[in-house]
């Protein structure tokens, strides 16, 4: 099975897990193999309470998984990266701190090294000021550190994992109330259209309705959803009409279809048949045969931490100290997380205060918050 076929099968299984949570363990096992590692987890974290929960996991020793949530979550240095990481964008240990500092931390010595784990690639699924949820693939010493190929594969999988997690909250036929259904889907920034076999819209979230006001991308004609590009429109019509065969309809087509406006604005379209496996009961409940996801193609823009560092001319160590003090609070805890001495932390923070003009920790928090995007992830 080639990579495209493996990805297609994995995506189908991911969306099946959205409506049958018992499938997540096998899906995470498959996802870990695809990205390049022995284990994977779906994980949520409360940054205020310094606590977390492993929702589903595959491949980790259950004893270590339990120890993480009970003890070592407080010493996990990658948590600092969650504060400013972009949704769905791969985050590895070296994005947070130099690797030589990481292997000196208590977290690595007592939790990672005994398992033979040397790194992990994270993708944020949701986050707020006080909490975050992530999909994580761990790297064993035989896999090596997270490389460009692992990042590339994570970018292929993470958007589908995220949508499946979010859709899992609303695609259960026992939660079919229209208000609940609509409110939950409105939290997803991609435009989502549920369509029948003819392409007629059965339901659309708020982003989708907004997109219809820009007919240069999608529009309704003769009661049917159509896209500007005729070739892509014919492909979508064929997928909708043949959705009764489920994921095979996607396997014969490209997983991601490009949509380009007359002004050159790029969007990406994904189609999810709702008549396959565990998804069948969700689709039939809404008389829909497929869900269509449309989102604007991501631009290669600098990360928010990079923007902060550039704005205030912070060194990498000063930036990590800034993010850590905002994320975890007191200097002794920052020292534990970063694996450095408390006096070293104080030195870095003194430089941060001088460069930013801040005088209190609350001022640093306001600076970081000012760089955060108010848009949906």
CATH value at residue 250: 3.30.450
Judge if 11 and 137 occupy the same domain: yes
Q: What is the DSSP string of 154-196?
A: HHHHHHHHHHHHHHTTT--GGG--HHHHHHHHTT-SSEEEEE-
**pLDDT tens by residue, 261-283:** 777 777 777 777 676 555 554 44
Q: What is the mean pLDDT of residues 233-255?
A: 62
Judge if 160 and 76 occupy the same domain: yes
Distances, alpha carbon 370 to alpha carbons 228, 305, 307, in Å: 38, 12, 11
Among 141, 167, 193, give the residue marking a domain's end: 167
The answer to whether position 377 is within a domain reads no
Q: Check pLDDT > 80 for residue 245.
A: no
Tell me the CATH number at 53: 3.30.450.40
Element holding 337 (H helix, E strand): helix 331-338
26: left (phi over 0), alpha (psi -120 to 50) or beta: alpha
**pLDDT tens by residue, 66-95:** 999 888 888 888 877 777 778 888 999 998
Residues 6 or more apart in contact with residue 246 via CB below 8 angstroms: 12, 273, 275, 276, 277
Judge if 203 and 125 occupy the same domain: no
Q: What's residue 290's pLDDT?
A: 79
119: left (phi over 0), alpha (psi -120 to 50) or beta: beta
Judge if 155 and 191 occupy the same domain: no
Judge if 279 and 365 occupy the same domain: no
The answer to whether position 376 is within a domain reads no
Report residue 322 CA to chain centroid gap: 24
Mean pLDDT score across all residues of the chain: 78
The answer to whether position 359 is within a domain reads yes
Judge if 159 and 269 occupy the same domain: no
Domain count, the chain: 3
Judge if 130 and 192 occupy the same domain: no
Residues 6 or more apart in contact with residue 172 via CB below 8 angstroms: 19, 282
Tell me the CATH number at 366: 1.10.10.10
Judge if 216 and 308 occupy the same domain: no
Q: What's residue 173's pLDDT?
A: 38
Judge if 255 and 163 occupy the same domain: no
Lowest mean pLDDT of 43-52, 126-135, 215-224, 282-291, name the range. Answer: 282-291
Judge if 41 and 73 occupy the same domain: yes
Q: Is the pTM of this model over 0.75?
A: no
Q: Check pLDDT > 50 for residue 177.
A: no
Q: What's residue 311's pLDDT?
A: 79
Among 116, 149, 167, give the residue marking a domain's end: 167
The answer to whether position 118 is within a domain reads yes
Q: What is the mean pLDDT of residues 201-214?
A: 85
Judge if 232 and 186 occupy the same domain: yes
Q: Check pLDDT > 80 for residue 124.
A: yes
The answer to whether position 345 is within a domain reads yes
Q: Could you tell me the residue range of the domain that residue 202 belongs to?
A: 175-296
Among 104, 136, 167, give the residue marking a domain's end: 167
Q: What is the mean pLDDT of residues 241-266?
A: 60
Judge if 193 and 264 occupy the same domain: yes
**pLDDT tens by residue, 306-355:** 778 877 888 888 888 888 887 777 888 888 777 778 898 899 999 999 99
**287 band by pLDDT with thresholds 50, 70 and 90:** low
Distances, alpha carbon 316 to alpha carbons 98, 241, 322, in Å: 9, 53, 10
156: left (phi over 0), alpha (psi -120 to 50) or beta: alpha
**254 band by pLDDT with thresholds 50, 70 and 90:** very low
Percent of the chain with pLDDT over 70: 78
The answer to whether position 316 is within a domain reads yes
The answer to whether position 87 is within a domain reads yes
**pLDDT tens by residue, 356-372:** 888 888 888 777 766 65
**377 band by pLDDT with thresholds 50, 70 and 90:** very low
Task: Determine whether 280 is exposed, middle or buried from the number of CB atoms within 10 Å of its CB (0-12, 13-18, 19+).
Answer: middle
Q: Check pLDDT > 80 for residue 125.
A: yes
Q: What is the mean pLDDT of residues 179-196?
A: 66
SS3 label, residue 236: helix
């Amino acid at each position: 099975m080639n990579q495209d076929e493996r990805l297609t099968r994995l995506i189908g299984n991911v969306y099946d897990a959205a409506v049958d949570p018992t499938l997540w363990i096998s899906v995470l096992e498959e996802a870990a193999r695809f990205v390049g590692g022995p284990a994977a987890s779906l994980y949520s974290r409360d940054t205020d309470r310094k606590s977390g929960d492993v929702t589903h996991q595959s491949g980790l020793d259950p004893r270590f998984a339990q120890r993480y949530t009970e003890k070592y979550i407080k010493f996990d240095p990658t948590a600092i990266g969650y504060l400013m990481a972009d949704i769905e964008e791969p985050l590895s240990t070296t994005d947070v701190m130099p690797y030589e500092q990481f292997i000196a931390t208590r977290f690595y010595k007592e939790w990672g090294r005994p398992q033979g784990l040397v790194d992990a690639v994270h993708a944020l699924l949701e986050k707020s000021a006080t909490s975050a949820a992530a999909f994580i693939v761990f790297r064993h010493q035989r896999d090596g550190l997270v490389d460009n190929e692992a990042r590339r594969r994570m970018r292929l999988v993470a958007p589908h994992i995220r949508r499946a997690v979010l859709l899992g909250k609303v695609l259960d036929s026992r939660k079919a109330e229209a208000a609940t259904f609509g409110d939950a889907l409105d939290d997803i920034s991609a435009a989502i259209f549920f369509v029948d076999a003819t392409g007629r819209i059965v339901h659309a979230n708020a982003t989708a309705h907004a997109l219809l006001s820009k007919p240069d991308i999608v529009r309704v004609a003769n009661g049917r959803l159509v896209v500007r590009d005729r070739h892509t429109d014919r492909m979508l019509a064929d997928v909708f009409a043949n959705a009764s065969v489920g994921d095979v309809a996607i396997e014969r087509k490209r997983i991601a279809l490009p949509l380009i406006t007359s002004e050159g604005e790029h969007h990406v379209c994904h189609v999810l048949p709702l008549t396959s496996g565990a998804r069948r009961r969700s689709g039939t409940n809404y008389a829909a045969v497929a869900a269509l996801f449309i989102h604007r193609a991501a631009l290669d823009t600098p990360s928010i931490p990079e923007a902060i560092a550039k704005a205030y001319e912070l060194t990498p160590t000063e930036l990590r100290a800034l993010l850590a003090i905002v994320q975890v609070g007191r200097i002794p805890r920052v020292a534990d997380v970063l694996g450095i001495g408390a006096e070293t932390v104080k030195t870095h923070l003194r430089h941060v205060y001088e460069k930013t003009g801040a005088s209190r920790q609350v001022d640093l928090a306001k600076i970081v918050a000012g760089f955060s995007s108010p848009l949906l992830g």
